[in-house]
Amino acid sequence: MFGERLSLARRYAQLLAGPGTERGLLGPREVPRLWDRHLLNCGVLADMVPTNATVCDIGSGAGLPGIVLAIARPDLRITLLEPLLRRAEFLSEVAEELELDGITVVRARAEDHRGSYDVVTARAVAPLSRLARVALGLCRPGGSVLAMKGERAGTELDEARQELDAAGAVEYSIERLGAELLPVPTTVVRVVAGTSRGAASSAKKRRSRRDGSGSARGV
């Protein structure tokens, strides 16, 4: 997953286990399972991000998945969006120590941030129904939101369909990644932003027909 940058991933794991835990960004019980529950869990997301993409990681916290993506994919330009000072300071320190030139740390709430990105990521930030409008608002036309979710992903998607449609989503699906690497695969809700109101309306009609035919993709 990390190739020749594995040493950076190992150093990041040390920073999470040390300063990250000491500052309360990560619970002490998470240290023994840093790799499978956090680093690898986030790293499998890299295959879903286009080459040379711009990425905004909402509520980046300790840098999951934003810093992991920056380590695995040095071609990406990643904005780590974090409103809390102590977390933003930690993210800046990690980016500097690991010499991750493609990272920009912005201390702000997602609702107040202005930008347009190819991909917007979020991990354990908010229910999809609350996340939908903010995350899609940061996507360029045709961009995508990758929301990392747990076992309630299907329920959250069902509950958020109205908000997703209203925010201009043209496609959404549930993806499960890393089954060959992880004891529990990473579950991601992928939402694609529309290019126009007309595209969103047309896609909504297509989704209605697919839903009626029993599609397992949830799109």
Q: What are 23-42's pLDDT values in tens digits?
A: 999 999 999 999 999 999 99
Q: What are 173-217's pLDDT values in tens digits?
A: 999 999 998 999 999 999 999 986 444 444 443 443 333 333 333
CATH 3.40.50.150 fits 3-212, yes or no: yes
Structural domain spans, the chain = 3-212
Q: What are 125-182's pLDDT values in tens digits?
A: 889 999 999 999 999 999 999 999 988 999 999 999 999 999 999 999 999 999 998 9
Q: List, as one string, the DSSP characters of the chain.
A: --GGGHHHHHHHHHHIIIIIHHTTSS-GGGGGGHIIIIIHHHHGGGGGS-TT-EEEEET-TTTTTHHHHHHH-TT-EEEEE--SHHHHHHHHHHHHHTT-TTEEEE-S-GGG----EEEEEEESSS-HHHHHHHHHHTEEEEEEEEEEE-TTHHHHHHHHHHHHHHTTEEEEEEEEE-TTT-SSPEEEEEEEEPSSHHHHHHHHHHHHHHHHTT-SS--
